[in-house]
Structure 1
Amino acid sequence: MREMGGDQVEEAVAGCVAALRPAVDGDWAGVKAGRLDWNCRETAEHIAGDLIAYAAQLAGRAQQAYVPFEFTLDGTDEGLDPVDNPGILHVIETTGALLVAAVRTAPREVRAFHPYPFRSANREGFAAMGIAEVLLHTHDIAEGLGLSYEPSAELADGVLTRIFPHVQPGPTPWSTLLWATGRGDLPGRAPVTDWRWNNNLVIPAGRLTLQGLSPAAARDLRLGGDGGFEWIDGGPFEGTREAAGMLVKAYEAGVHRPEWGVFALVRTEDGRAVGGMGFHGAPDEDGCAEIGYDLVESARGHGYATEALRALSEWALARDGIRSLFATVERDNVPSQAVVSRAGFTQVSADGDEFAYELRG
């Protein structure tokens, strides 16, 4: 799987600078940026500020809050002349390079603080957020200055499938991203007035972490790839690939709820994936959600599935309105029956070749 990383940040920043350079002689401070309340100069400063802020979060491994520093373009406090428009573009290039370096040097398992919605993001998340800021605010500035601008479909799709997993794909990735952030219209969809992006959920589980799959990762797994994970010998089992396909279908239908999706089970000791676990969909109207899981064959017999199931069940039953969890196990799959039993599930029925288990909150 091609990860969203430094190359894509570079592409986004280069596209921004190329789009705005023809207007460097204009009055950026006197022109409003698209639908924003900021002028074009303030919006350009915001791009640079976000790029360096994301680089700082990731490089500094911030865990509880934003790194406490302030970014400004103006040098008036030191008696210097304000930065001109070519200088602003140079600052965007420079802060973009800092984010590129932070993304490229951060190990895959590193996560740092970001508030939306689960209070952390990995290097791919910070890259996607930085790219989103660049694409969207370049659009705003270009609209204000009367310039044409449209990034590549691949960049826009990368942002959507990493940090907008709750947004149903539309006619094109760019038009969908503009609609999802209140900057455009799509046929048959109501205008968006309030929005947030959505980094993946990570749940600690003893020797493992459960890492929520993005639509991009699920799409790659469904097609036979690794989903961006380093797997132990044997790679993902077929059940994980099937579950990833279900996630993709839900995403394409606009009914995917990321926290009720599929998780890769990743060992904390070495960052390698050993299996998959997740929900068959969002909870039903009675507050019941169904869980499924599998492990790579060489990972079985080590207690990983039990640890993961306990952690995921505890997380799920702590959500508002969730009354019970449900799992089905084949009659001849004795090891899996032991897993659900150790995790606190109780057998409630037997139907043909399957046993049904329930865990109530």
Structure 2
Amino acid sequence: MRAMSGDHLTEAVAGCAAVLGGALERDWGAVRAGSLEWDCHATAVHLADDLLSYAANLAGRARDAYVPFELTLDAGTGNAGLLHVIETTGALLAAAVRTAPPGVRAFHPYPFGSADREGFAAMGVAEALLHTHDIAQGLGVAYEPSADLAESVLDWLFPHVQPGPAPWPTLLWATGRGELPGRAPVTGWRWRNNLVIPAERLTLTGLRPAVARDLALGGDGGFTWLEGGPYEGTREAAGFMVKAYEAGVHRPEFGVFALVRHEDGRAVGGIGFHGAPDEEGRVEIGYDLTEGARGRGYATEALRALTGWALARDDVGSVLATVERTNTPSQAVVTRAGFVPVAHEDAAGAELAYELRP
């Protein structure tokens, strides 16, 4: 798995500079940028401002809002100078991504209030690809980024979008910039950074499709695992999540989470939902731990955190868990988390069902 990184940003900004560098003699302020309401000059300034803002938020570990400043060009700055600003702000964001420790998050509003270093890299790449497209379209010059860059943006920021026949047309469609056969036009859109849920000793880190795919195929998903991990249940759940993503039915907030221990940053297990809530607001949950992490209360802590998050939502009325009849430690976990036994249709009698309500 190739995680989103500063290298992706460097590649995306270099592609922008290569295309726009061939149109420096044009009047960027006189031409509308593709389907946007801005002209090409304003769009280029917006791109540079976004890259700088992301770099500042990540480097400054912004918590509740953007760092309170914005980009202002010197009077008389021409197209060449503006393009240099884009290259510079892209380099600043790439540096911020490369130097940020794993797991560090900073403010971004969509949709859960924060993003990690990979999320900031993905947002920067998305801004570069999409606004280079807008400006190039307005100027009448050809532009198409690599399929790898477009696919990475989709994997990291659009987990709610079913993959299409090719990454770049799919990204353009997902952002209201193009059409895809058999799909309705997109008139409003937001990208989605992954959800993280804090617990006392753990962070529940939502898996993105690329991470889930790597885990399902036997990789580490970019996490440093406690010895013996990830356990087979986490890999299986990741595989089911990938299938849901590819079928276009994945709801990212009802996906799979890695349990990352605060004390050393190691992943010790996985927890997640079997899918989105049904029509009656019921959602099923499952979890596992690496063998070396068992017996320390991690599963109970994670279960309480995730069920607390779920039951605070309007679309969830109850959380279900099924446990093998022979698995007494897991039965103790759900009981400690507040679940109570309920009737369950299990012809073989091999499983017990538990439920938790608000």
Is the structural similarity TM-score above 0.5? yes
What is the CA distance between 1:311 and its match in structure 2?
0.6
What is the CA distance between 1:323 and its match in structure 2?
1.1
Q: Which amino acid aligns with 2:317?
A: R
Give the alignment of 1:86-105 within 5 angstroms.
86-105=80-99
Q: Which amino acid aligns with 1:33?
A: A
Structure 2 residue 199 is the aligned partner of structure 1 residue 202: no
What is the CA distance between 1:321 and its match in structure 2?
2.7
Aligned to 2:260: 266
CA offset digits 1:65-106 (Å, max 9, x no partner)? 100002122x23xxxxx1111111111110000001100000
What secondary structure does 1:347 align onto? strand
What is the CA distance between 1:271 and its match in structure 2?
1.2
Aligned to 1:143: 137
What is the CA distance between 1:259 and its match in structure 2?
0.5
CA distance in 1, matches of 2:86, 2:315: 45
What secondary structure does 1:236 align onto? coil
Q: Is the 8 A contact 2:318 2:357 kept in 1?
A: yes
CA distance in 2, matches of 1:107, 1:132: 22
Aligned to 2:2: 2
CA distance in 2, matches of 1:223, 1:112: 30
Structure 2 residue 18 is the aligned partner of structure 1 residue 18: yes
CA distance in 1, matches of 2:315, 2:243: 25
Give the alignment of 1:313-328 within 5 angstroms.
313-328=307-322
Structure 2 residue 189 is the aligned partner of structure 1 residue 223: no
Q: 2:357 aligns with which of 348, 357, 360?
A: 360
CA offset digits 1:115-156 (Å, max 9, x no partner)? 000000000000000000000000000000111101011100
Q: Is the 8 A contact 2:53 2:70 kept in 1?
A: no
Q: 1:239 aligns with which of 214, 233, 243?
A: 233
What is the CA distance between 1:20 and its match in structure 2?
1.1
Aligned to 1:64: 64
Structure 2 residue 122 is the aligned partner of structure 1 residue 125: no
CA distance in 2, matches of 1:254, 1:124: 23
CA distance in 2, matches of 1:271, 1:50: 30
Give the alignment of 1:139-218 within 5 angstroms.
139-218=133-212
Query: Structure 1, unaligned stretches of length 5 or more?
Result: 77-81
CA distance in 1, matches of 2:82, 2:141: 17
CA distance in 1, matches of 2:233, 2:116: 26
Q: 1:110 aligns with which of 92, 104, 107?
A: 104
Q: Is the 8 A contact 2:340 2:356 kept in 1?
A: yes
Aligned to 2:247: 253
What secondary structure does 1:231 align onto? coil
Stretches of 4+ aligned residues off by more than 4 angstroms: none
Q: 2:331 aligns with which of 299, 318, 337?
A: 337
What secondary structure does 1:230 align onto? coil
Q: Which amino acid aligns with 1:71?
A: L
Q: Is the 8 A contact 2:323 2:331 kept in 1?
A: yes
What is the CA distance between 1:349 and its match in structure 2?
3.1
Identity of aligned residues (%): 74
Q: Which amino acid aligns with 1:152?
A: S
Q: Which amino acid aligns with 2:244?
A: A
CA distance in 1, matches of 2:113, 2:270: 23
Query: Structure 2, unaligned stretches of length 5 or more?
Result: none
Aligned to 1:79: none
Aligned to 2:38: 38
Aligned to 2:28: 28
Aligned to 2:286: 292
What secondary structure does 2:343 align onto? strand
What secondary structure does 2:353 align onto? strand
CA distance in 2, matches of 1:195, 1:348: 40
CA distance in 2, matches of 1:235, 1:90: 46
Structure 2 residue 50 is the aligned partner of structure 1 residue 50: yes
Q: Compute the TM-score of the two structures, normalised by the length of structure 1.
A: 0.97
